[in-house]
């Protein structure tokens, strides 16, 4: 394929009387190639195809995916195309998207701030960066939040789905993410989240300081307007959003957690970095061991009691007295323990249950709740026989009086004999 510059050059040389052989030697091209461009059979910048382009079969799919989602990453599309049978390289795939102008233009997203930045050195085992990813529109119809923790040196990250960003859920999420990372770095880098840092200062919240001491780490807030200081976790959030969440098929928070765990282990850890995979770098990274027990924070969530006197929480169902059906209760769990308390909104404990594993899809009932619910259900049933529906029941005298009044509304004071009317309405009287 000749470039536009080469095409101009060979045309100029030909007009000056050069032979095709001389032109071919001059530009370093085959004579047949030079002749085809001079004759107009080929155009500069357009690759000549010797046969069917293998991308042609996949163009309708890629085009439709980009119409549905103009911002889906090319890597995501490439993974999908490979699963459908595309057997060429990623570079070939992206070149086809560019050459065929398949991606729709988005004016608001086309700009770039272009600010200069510096690379920050991250010694192994030194730092973990934390941030929240908010998901306002989930397939299961509820808002969700994802706590992301990323090792600054290796780039390994793990995620924890949560239904709140309050401090209690943050502490639980930190413990879950650290468990998935296999330990903790010496320092935690956080955005200026109010659950960790006192707003307008660099001081740690008094309620969060014991958490840092529990894990034996230091806490460093990002300087104002320096989001690149936690660029590793920001990149992890973008990677997770584009490569997994954008195309994930999940129906609940529990399914989402299982899906993102697989994604992190199979896809995210396979990324190449400094000649190795992220997973290999992370496995060699020295991390501090986690405490024997989790920090004992109390997590509180609000739930509505279903008609079967069950409360759904964290992928399981727990029984309550049937008198609470349709009402609102609070589920309280001390992190690190195996017991949950269900209380009224005023804080009165209604019952306690052993905590089932998250996402186990279990129903946990107390015997007294089962018995009480059965009594309520049985009491709602009547022992009377159903009414008979094939009885002859003509209009009563009271109904006939009302009917006579209705007939009287049609004229002026008609006189109606009820016996005559009754006989007229008897079966067979109109036959």
* Interval 287-302: pLDDT, tens: 999 999 999 999 999 9
**321 pLDDT higher than 70:** yes
**50 pLDDT higher than 70:** no
pLDDT for 111 equals: 52
Q: Judge if 323 and 275 occupy the same domain.
A: no
How does the average pLDDT of the chain come out, rounded? 87
Average pLDDT estimate for 311-340: 94
**351 pLDDT higher than 50:** yes
Q: Is residue 59 in some structural domain?
A: yes
Q: Is residue 105 in some structural domain?
A: no
Q: Per the structure, how many domains does the chain have?
A: 4
Average pLDDT estimate for 259-273: 95
Q: Judge if 162 and 279 occupy the same domain.
A: yes
Which of 24-33, 118-127, 161-170 shows the lowest mean pLDDT across its residues?
118-127
Model confidence pLDDT, tens digit, residues 90-120: 888 998 898 888 888 776 665 544 455 556 7
Average pLDDT estimate for 277-285: 96
Average pLDDT estimate for 150-174: 96
**Domain coverage including residue 363:** 298-379
Q: Is residue 122 in some structural domain?
A: no
**334 pLDDT higher than 80:** yes
Q: Judge if 418 and 342 occupy the same domain.
A: no
Q: Is residue 80 in some structural domain?
A: yes
The 3-state secondary structure of the chain, one letter per residue: CCCHHHHHHHHHHHHCCCCHHHHHHHHCCCHHHHHHHHCCCCCCCCCCCCCCCHHHHCHHHHHHHHHHCCCCCHHHHHHHHHHCCCCCCHHHHHHHHHHCCCCCCCHHHCCCCCCCCCCCCCCCCCEEEEEEEEECCCCCCCCEEEEEEEECCCCCEEEEEECCCCHHHHHHHHHHHHHHHCCECCEEEECCCCCCECCCCCCECCCCHHHHHHHCCEEEECCCCCHHHHHHHHHHHHHHHHHCHHHCCCCCHHHHHHHHHHHHHHCHHHCEECCEEHHHHHHCCCCECCCCCCCCCEEEEEEECCCCCEEEECCEEEECCHHHCCCEEEEEEECCCCEEEEECCCCCEEEEEECCCCCCCCEECCHHHHHHHHHHHHHCCCCCCCCCCCCCCCCCHHHHHHHHHHHHCCCCCCCCCHHHHHHHHCCCCCC
Which residue among 250, 283, 316 closes a domain? 283
Q: Report the percent of the chain where pLDDT is more than 90.
A: 52
pTM: 0.67
Measured in whole angstroms, the distance separating CA 212 from the mean position of its chain's CA atoms is: 29
Which residue among 229, 256, 283 closes a domain? 283
Which pLDDT band holds residue 419 (cuts at 50, 70, 90)? low
Q: Judge if 409 and 329 occupy the same domain.
A: no
pLDDT for 410 equals: 57
Q: Judge if 208 and 343 occupy the same domain.
A: no
């Amino acid at each position: 394929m000749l470039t536009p510059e080469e095409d101009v050059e060979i045309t100029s040389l030909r007009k000056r009387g050069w032979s095709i052989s001389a032109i071919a030697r001059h530009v370093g091209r085959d004579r047949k190639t030079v002749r085809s461009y001079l004759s107009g059979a080929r155009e500069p910048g357009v690759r000549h195809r010797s046969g069917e382009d293998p991308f042609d079969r996949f163009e309708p799919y890629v085009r439709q995916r980009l119409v549905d989602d103009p911002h889906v990453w090319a890597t995501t599309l490439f993974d999908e195309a490979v699963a459908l049978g595309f057997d060429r390289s990623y570079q070939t795939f992206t070149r086809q998207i560019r050459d065929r102008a398949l991606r729709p233009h988005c004016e608001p997203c086309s700009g770039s701030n272009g600010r200069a930045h510096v690379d920050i050195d991250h010694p192994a085992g030194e730092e973990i960066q934390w941030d929240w990813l908010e998901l306002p529109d989930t397939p299961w119809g509820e808002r969700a939040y994802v706590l992301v923790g990323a090792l600054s040196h290796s780039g390994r990250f793990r995620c924890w789905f949560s239904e709140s960003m309050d401090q209690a859920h943050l502490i639980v999420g930190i413990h879950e993410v650290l468990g998935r990372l296999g330990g903790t770095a010496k320092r935690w880098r956080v955005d200026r989240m109010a659950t960790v840092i006192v707003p307008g200062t660099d001081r740690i919240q008094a309620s969060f300081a014991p958490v840092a001491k529990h894990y034996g780490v230091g806490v460093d807030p990002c300087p104002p307007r320096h989001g690149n200081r936690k660029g590793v976790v920001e990149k992890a959030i973008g990677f997770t959003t584009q490569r997994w969440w954008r195309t994930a098929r999940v129906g609940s928070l529990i399914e989402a957690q299982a899906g993102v765990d697989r994604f992190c282990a199979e896809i995210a850890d396979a990324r190449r970095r400094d000649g190795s995979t992220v997973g290999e770098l992370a496995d060699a990274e020295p991390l501090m061991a986690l405490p024997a027990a989790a920090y004992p924070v109390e997590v509180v969530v609000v739930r509505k009691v279903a008609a079967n006197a069950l409360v759904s929480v964290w992928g399981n169902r727990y029984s309550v007295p049937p008198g609470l059906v349709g009402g609102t209760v609070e589920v309280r769990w001390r992190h690190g323990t195996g017991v949950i308390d269900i209380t009224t909104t005023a804080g009165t404990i209604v019952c306690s249950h052993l905590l089932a594993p998250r996402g186990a899809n279990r129903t946990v009932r107390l015997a007294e709740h089962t018995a009480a619910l059965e009594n309520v259900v049985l009491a709602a049933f009547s022992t009377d026989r159903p009414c008979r529906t094939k009885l002859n029941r003509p209009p009563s005298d009271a109904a006939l009086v009302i009917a006579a009044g209705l007939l009287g509304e049609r004229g002026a004071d008609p006189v109606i004999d009820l016996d005559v009317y009754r006989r007229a309405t008897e079966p067979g009287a109109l036959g």
